[in-house]
Amino acid sequence: MDFDLRGLLRRVAEEVEAEIKQVEKELATARRRGGRARELAAVRDILYEDKWFRIATAVYARLKRQFAEDAKAGELLGAARSRLFGLRLEVVEVPMLKIEAAVDQDGRVAAVRCRAALDLGVEAVFEGVAPGYRLKKTAQTSKTADADAAEDVKHRDGGREEADVERRGAAGRGDEVERLLEEVRREFSGLPVYVGWRTDTST
């Protein structure tokens, strides 16, 4: 399977960045002529915040469509790391996303591992082998890749533990600060967010 990982990443990033640029353009126009500048600025901020989350999710989903899930992926990647069987390891790393690929002599991607740090303390991992790829004399039994990757994202939620640490820490900072933090937390009830407090103001 000939698969250009860097090209995939570049295309996805360009799509997301084009959307941000479009909003920046509309915002500049709104500021000159007067208009919905405030609303556009809010949209722009959200797009900036969500940029790497969206890129990581899209790359992860597209990789899952291209590769069958297989336990042998780790074996092939390991082989590539030690440069056996003519495989080489190619690593693409950007914020929130690390892709490792075992590439054969013809440039075909044999196996891939995508680690998407989708958010604070949360990691999605996908390992897949190109359908029909053989490792030495062991035939790979390929499964059909699930097209809807989003449903299969495995993650661990580190938020609860962090929030507990925060609550314990807040105990010594005075009741008023803690009361305000609790009020804010209540507003986000049911959402996976972390509400914290810092003394430095250099944001």
Partner 1 sequence: MEDGYVYVKRTAPMDKRQFREYTEVCRRLGFRFDRRGERWVKPLEELKTA
| Residues within the interface to partner 1 (CB under 8 A) | 42, 45-46, 48-50, 53, 57, 118-122, 124, 153, 155, 157-159, 162-163, 173-174, 176-177, 180-181, 184, 187-188, 191-201, 203
Q: Is residue 92 a contact partner of residue 6, using CB atoms and an 8 Å limit?
A: yes
Residue entry with tokens 């080489």: 88
- For residue 3, the minimal CB distance to partner 1 (Å) is 25
- For residue 55, the minimal CB distance to partner 1 (Å) is 13
- For residue 34, the minimal CB distance to partner 1 (Å) is 21
Nearer to partner 1, 84 or 184 (CB): 184
- For residue 163, the minimal CB distance to partner 1 (Å) is 8
- For residue 51, the minimal CB distance to partner 1 (Å) is 9
Nearer to partner 1, 48 or 93 (CB): 48
User: Which of 37, 128, 31 has the alpha carbon at shortest distance from 75?
Assistant: 128
Nearer to partner 1, 73 or 118 (CB): 118
Q: Which two structure tokens, joined as six digits, stand for 64? A: 């899952």
Instruction: Write out the DSSP string of 62-104.
Output: HHHHHSEE-TTHHHHHHHHHTT-TT-EEEEEEETTEEEEEEE-
Q: What angle do CA 168, 172, 174 make, to 5 degrees?
A: 115
User: What is d(CA 39, CA 20) in angstroms, rounded to the nearest whole number?
Assistant: 14
Nearer to partner 1, 106 or 187 (CB): 187
